[in-house]
Structure 1
């Protein structure tokens, strides 16, 4: 008898990459086809169940996560490198994101869009939705898709990143246990598994968060069948500091937002524009804030910054550093190495600033996705706005000023999905009210708010002839 070996992916700890955290089985083509067909078979009944029944199932799943599972948080840290406090926060958001999706979905689907004697308009789900999520915040980024898609009446198949599939797979399987069979599934593997989902004829929409190169591949694959796509792509978020800003406070906050998750956040601040006469004051304050980071393994209670996730990210940041130094650019590295002896066992990078960066340099015009922050001097506000808008990115941005009206005036000129004033993160009110997504090459479509529900719905209109009344 011949035994067929199932391909496995080893998941290694980015802080101790000689340690295997776990393994996942790579879904075979036959398994992908079976799971998609099961989702397709379950779609009609899930849609007919009605929004109230779907809401109750999702609320039941939410209650299952009201107590934070520390083991899941530790697993997440060991596979994606974030410090434990960040992973605990991410896991704690599971019930919140499910409940928010329910609230928004009940509002969106409570009443007919249009209803009178001759015309009616309904919103309907697509059917099977494939969600492809990255490694940097896999739980949150999956739930921001799964909750809205499910409450809208779709069935969902999630493909996590092979760099961090373990915690999110377990969480999604626990949610799926509260739902009818076939409504929520997970498949693991690399790009070949994602491609198989995209081209499957029963998949009606693909929602992807990640990089532009993969999104372009998905668009090409989806074109043959005109499969709908939703993309949340990279950002190169600018922060503009005005000359009336509280420099120490702005520097502290900007550093915090720039270096969270070791800079591996799509809408982290990735470049800062500062009035030339205040450049050194800002850079000094920013370095002092950055220098307090303690870099080490995410499970070490003293660590405030973990490693980058993988070799590709590590090499990209190192290449940026080397290129800048070869040209004589001032790169200031800070932070504390928590375990110097074990430094080479992980993808550790100390945080750094580029003081007085050239606005045309690669470290400014592209997304670094690592702990390096360029600071660019400007002479006129119009120059800062032009530089901020001068890339093909347009995810988020921020303006820092003591004059809110003045800051709003600058914010109105920026090309971004969201512009923050004196902060650079979504508040609870912002998550509920503001659609999250990018303009230009930072995405197609929206997540969050009611627009995030609409991404998973399509219109169906009915018109009755006047003579038939």
Structure 2
């Protein structure tokens, strides 16, 4: 099996049926730190997408019949090949996404490769659920078929491999469509997989939104795994109804963090800052609303602003950069609109709030909004950028109500010295994941998913593996 390095300076091609395929047309991929064209990505056609689905369908019988151990072997060799290219992938990730190379990009690539290795070791064993003199009842987890994966632009490496590993180890094949804003690392995944995975097991097709719509409605797709906005997730679920596709939807969030009056808040400020502003706020589980008890609110804001003021926003290739640019112009313009609303309403902004549009790149300053009204856009909407409202509260019952008054329910956190009290509050928050005195802890065996309009189904853990399978019951008479 070949695991030789690839030429990262070469042109980008689609991966279809074990071959690298040219596209007649291409589209520009921009470096968000400079605004310059970084590369040309192949614009796959609907016909090429259909060919990729057909290749995955043809590969499914042979791949699904392999043992778990055999599939683990393939995935481990794939992880080895990714590891051999990890430095190049890290640089490419920064150039196309914007996040700092030395911190978040490096961490994302390393975590993603680790995920592939570890998920490949997991199993869904057969279980005997009843055994009598008359018969034996056994449950098995059987693969679904061809899975469509659609990935976002904020964590294209990690979230791409989060989908590939559980899909393939459970015996399914895949057609992946990356975001047109960040397709490059994913296209390299396909190239790295050449000569390692059997033909048709993993197919990568880049292109515009019309490909995603075609893929989610395709009659030969058994499941869609989608990470993105709630609005798009609803359309995915609707189009998948044509043949009752299984869907896993990891969608938006408006995650609250509650700081209790007994918290050692000075020690928490770095943790809370990075939980809100990491990746320049471009992640679904970022703290979006920070509720701080009024007894400590004023002092907390002062200390938080002092810490935030020293963080450098810049090009992710600069080793001194703490926070990179906004990845794309669409999101940049949404933040401009939100900043205009903050200014128009006269909310207190002790740090940031003004975007310097004369600067090349999609740079948005770290911005803190002090105690805006609960019904303001900055509190009610998911900004997906480096802006955070810090909101005072007096009553615990009131803040729990406010934290839960959202259509989202992805994650939340509670911070305080009284662990029993913090835990009791956490148990009442309506979210798929709630952290107490820690945040953004994930694991191979820890399920992750949202409540309400933050998603459907889970990723990771036994539950996440099971989402790529059907439950089959086999009953045998003695």
- Pairwise CA distance, 1:336: 13
Q: Does 1:448 align with 2:460?
A: yes
Deviations 1:379-430 (A, max 9, x none): 111111111111011111000111211111111111111111122211xxx4
Q: Please tell me whether the aligned partners of residues 142 and 472 of structure 2 are also in contact (alpha carbons under 8 angstroms).
A: yes
Q: Does 1:22 align with 2:34?
A: no
Q: Does 1:186 align with 2:204?
A: yes
Query: 2:85 and 2:307 mapped to 1: Cα distance?
Result: 30
TM-score, normalized by length of structure 2? 0.91
Match of 1:305 in 2: 323
Match of 1:33 in 2: 50
- Pairwise CA distance, 1:68: 5.9
Q: Please tell me whether the aligned partners of residues 295 and 335 of structure 1 are also in contact (alpha carbons under 8 angstroms).
A: no
Q: Does 1:243 align with 2:255?
A: no
2:405 maps to which of 390, 411, 428: 390
Q: Please tell me whether the aligned partners of residues 176 and 183 of structure 1 are also in contact (alpha carbons under 8 angstroms).
A: no
List gaps (5 residues or longer) in structure 2. 1-21
Task: Report the 3-state secondary structure (helix = DSSP H, G, I; strand = E; otherwise coil) of the residue aligned with 1:94.
Answer: helix
Query: 1:321 and 1:32 mapped to 2: Cα distance?
Result: 39
Match of 1:314 in 2: 332
CA distance 1:172–1:257, change in 2 (3 Å): farther
Query: 1:226 and 1:69 mapped to 2: Cα distance?
Result: 38
Query: 1:220 and 1:281 mapped to 2: Cα distance?
Result: 48
Q: Please tell me whether the aligned partners of residues 68 and 88 of structure 1 are also in contact (alpha carbons under 8 angstroms).
A: no
Q: Please tell me whether the aligned partners of residues 238 and 397 of structure 1 are also in contact (alpha carbons under 8 angstroms).
A: yes
- Pairwise CA distance, 1:118: 3.3
Match of 1:74 in 2: 91
Query: 2:433 and 2:458 mapped to 1: Cα distance?
Result: 11
1:365 maps to which of 374, 377, 380: 380
- Pairwise CA distance, 1:280: 0.7
CA distance 1:384–1:177, change in 2 (3 Å): farther
Query: 2:352 and 2:379 mapped to 1: Cα distance?
Result: 20
Query: 2:188 and 2:85 mapped to 1: Cα distance?
Result: 14
1:287 maps to which of 299, 305, 321: 305
Q: Report matched runs for 1:250-269 at 5 Å.
A: 250-269=268-287
Q: Does 1:158 align with 2:168?
A: no
Q: Please tell me whether the aligned partners of residues 30 and 39 of structure 2 are also in contact (alpha carbons under 8 angstroms).
A: yes
Match of 2:430 in 1: 415
Query: 1:102 and 1:369 mapped to 2: Cα distance?
Result: 32
Query: 1:39 and 1:5 mapped to 2: Cα distance?
Result: 19
Match of 1:463 in 2: 475
Q: Please tell me whether the aligned partners of residues 139 and 168 of structure 1 are also in contact (alpha carbons under 8 angstroms).
A: yes
CA distance 1:145–1:345, change in 2 (3 Å): same
- Pairwise CA distance, 1:5: 7.7
1:53 maps to which of 70, 76, 97: 70
Query: 1:67 and 1:291 mapped to 2: Cα distance?
Result: 38
Match of 1:63 in 2: 80
Task: Report the 3-state secondary structure (helix = DSSP H, G, I; strand = E; otherwise coil) of the residue aligned with 2:110.
Answer: helix
Task: Report the 3-state secondary structure (helix = DSSP H, G, I; strand = E; otherwise coil) of the residue aligned with 1:433.
Answer: coil
TM-score, normalized by length of structure 1? 0.93
CA distance 1:203–1:307, change in 2 (3 Å): same
Q: Please tell me whether the aligned partners of residues 270 and 307 of structure 2 are also in contact (alpha carbons under 8 angstroms).
A: yes
Q: Please tell me whether the aligned partners of residues 292 and 336 of structure 1 are also in contact (alpha carbons under 8 angstroms).
A: no
Deviations 1:417-468 (A, max 9, x none): 1111122211xxx41332101000000000111111011011111234xxx5
CA distance 1:205–1:113, change in 2 (3 Å): farther
Task: Report the 3-state secondary structure (helix = DSSP H, G, I; strand = E; otherwise coil) of the residue aligned with 2:408.
Answer: coil
Q: Which has the higher helix share?
A: 1
Task: Report the 3-state secondary structure (helix = DSSP H, G, I; strand = E; otherwise coil) of the residue aligned with 2:443.
Answer: helix
Q: Please tell me whether the aligned partners of residues 331 and 353 of structure 1 are also in contact (alpha carbons under 8 angstroms).
A: yes
Query: 1:329 and 1:91 mapped to 2: Cα distance?
Result: 39
Q: Does 1:43 align with 2:55?
A: no
2:396 maps to which of 364, 378, 381: 381
Match of 1:145 in 2: 163
Q: Please tell me whether the aligned partners of residues 128 and 137 of structure 2 are also in contact (alpha carbons under 8 angstroms).
A: no
Deviations 1:134-154 (A, max 9, x none): 000001001111100110000
**Aligned positions, number:** 453
- Pairwise CA distance, 1:369: 0.1
- Pairwise CA distance, 1:319: 1.5
Query: 1:265 and 1:28 mapped to 2: Cα distance?
Result: 30
Match of 2:7 in 1: none
Query: 1:343 and 1:156 mapped to 2: Cα distance?
Result: 43
Query: 1:121 and 1:402 mapped to 2: Cα distance?
Result: 45
Q: Does 1:275 align with 2:287?
A: no
Q: Please tell me whether the aligned partners of residues 63 and 172 of structure 2 are also in contact (alpha carbons under 8 angstroms).
A: yes
Query: 1:8 and 1:50 mapped to 2: Cα distance?
Result: 39
Query: 1:182 and 1:113 mapped to 2: Cα distance?
Result: 34
